[in-house]
């Protein structure tokens, strides 16, 4: 059995993933295997020079698999908690304090909005937090607030409003309906759903790669509109001087094409 992932490893892997995803200089026909190897290459830039075997980039191709199957699923669950906090429209708090309250919900410290957790230290209580920060700007992890979920308020919250129940829970629970599969049948059904979910995850990753890396195949108008934005975002992440110079030259070239 491999070593448990540390928070530092998850953060390094997420930064490497973001850097690899936002790289517009790589061809659109790159497969998952080559994408995984590029993540490892970038991960070395964010890892200790004396990283032990079996840690950080030395985990090999399992890095992307772990991100896809474990870390990214946790990010989506956390975003769901954050959406619930936004839906409550808390007042008198900062953006970070909203995130802190969402982290408390995610860690099951509270069942919903509770101002007592506005200063909950998300970074120290959730080891994936810095990793989430590193990728939250990517389209894959964005969420739509146009249709927010119902506000969930903890029974211990200091803010109440008519219509909210003090016993309401963050996760809605229901009695099993008639005909619901149980035991082995339920386990098999869940396994099928998990497999389908992972396949969709891989398909979404492949689609994202083609969208961000296949600018040469996009029409001229979309190439300039989306390509420039992609390179600008990439410049915020890239630290390698040579890579950064290439991105800047690409940006200048695209600007000249507009004339």
Q: Could you write out the DSSP letters of every residue in the chain?
A: -PPPPPHHHHHHHHHHHHHHHT-TTS-TT--HHHHHHHHHHHHGGGS-TTPPTTSGGGGTTHHHHHIIIIIHHHHHHHHHHHHHHHHT---S--HHHHHHHHHHHHTTS-SSB-GGGTT--HHHH-TTHHHHHHHTTSGGG----SSPPPP-B-TT-S---TT--TT--SS---PPPTT---HHHHHHHHHHHHHHHHHHHHHHHHHHHHHHH-GGGS-HHHHHHHHHHHHHHHHHH---HHHHHHHHHHHHHHHHHH-
Contact by Cβ (8 Å): 123, 5: no
Half-sphere exposure of 65 (CA within 13 A, CB side): 5
Whole-number pLDDT of residue 113? 94
Q: What does the pLDDT profile of the chain (259 residues) look like in tens digits?
A: 457 999 999 999 999 999 998 876 554 556 888 889 999 999 999 999 999 999 999 999 999 999 999 999 999 999 999 999 999 999 999 999 999 999 999 999 999 999 999 999 999 999 999 999 999 999 888 765 444 566 767 765 444 333 333 333 444 333 344 455 556 777 777 777 777 777 887 777 777 666 655 555 545 555 566 677 787 777 777 677 777 788 788 777 777 765 5
Contact by Cβ (8 Å): 70, 94: no
Q: Please give the Cα distance from 87 to 151 (Å, whole number).
A: 5
Q: 80: closest CA among 175, 145, 15?
A: 145
Whole-number pLDDT of residue 142? 79
Name, in order, each residue with C-beta under 8 angstroms of 95's C-beta and a sequence gap of 6 or more. none
Whole-number pLDDT of residue 148? 56
Q: 58: closest CA among 15, 127, 2?
A: 2
Whole-number pLDDT of residue 88? 93
Contact by Cβ (8 Å): 33, 219: no
In whole angstroms, how large is the CA radius of gyration of the chain? 21
Contact by Cβ (8 Å): 161, 103: no
């Amino acid at each position: 059995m491999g070593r448990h992932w540390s928070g530092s490893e998850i953060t390094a892997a997420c930064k490497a993933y973001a850097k690899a995803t936002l790289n517009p200089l790589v061809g659109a026909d790159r497969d998952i295997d080559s994408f995984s190897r590029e993540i490892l290459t970038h991960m070395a830039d964010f890892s200790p020079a004396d990283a032990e075997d079996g840690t950080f980039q030395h985990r090999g191709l399992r890095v992307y698999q772990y991100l896809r199957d474990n870390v990214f699923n946790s990010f989506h669950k956390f975003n769901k908690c954050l959406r619930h906090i936004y839906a409550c429209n808390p007042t008198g708090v900062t953006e970070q304090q909203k995130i802190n309250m969402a982290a408390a919900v995610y860690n099951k410290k509270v069942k919903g909005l509770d101002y007592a957790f506005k200063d909950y230290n998300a970074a120290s209580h959730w080891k994936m937090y810095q990793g989430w920060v590193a990728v939250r700007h990517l389209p894959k992890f964005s969420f739509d607030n146009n249709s927010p979920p119902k506000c969930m308020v903890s029974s211990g919250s200091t803010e109440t409003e008519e219509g909210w129940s003090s016993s309401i829970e963050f996760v809605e629970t229901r009695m099993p309906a008639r005909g619901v599969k149980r035991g082995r049948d339920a386990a098999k059904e869940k396994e099928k759903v998990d497999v389908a979910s992972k396949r969709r995850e891989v398909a979404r990753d492949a689609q994202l790669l083609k969208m961000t890396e296949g600018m040469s195949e996009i029409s001229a108008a979309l190439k300039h509109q989306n390509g420039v934005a992609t390179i600008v975002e990439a410049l915020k992440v890239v630290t390698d001087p040579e890579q950064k110079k290439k991105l800047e030259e690409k940006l200048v070239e695209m600007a000249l094409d507009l004339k």
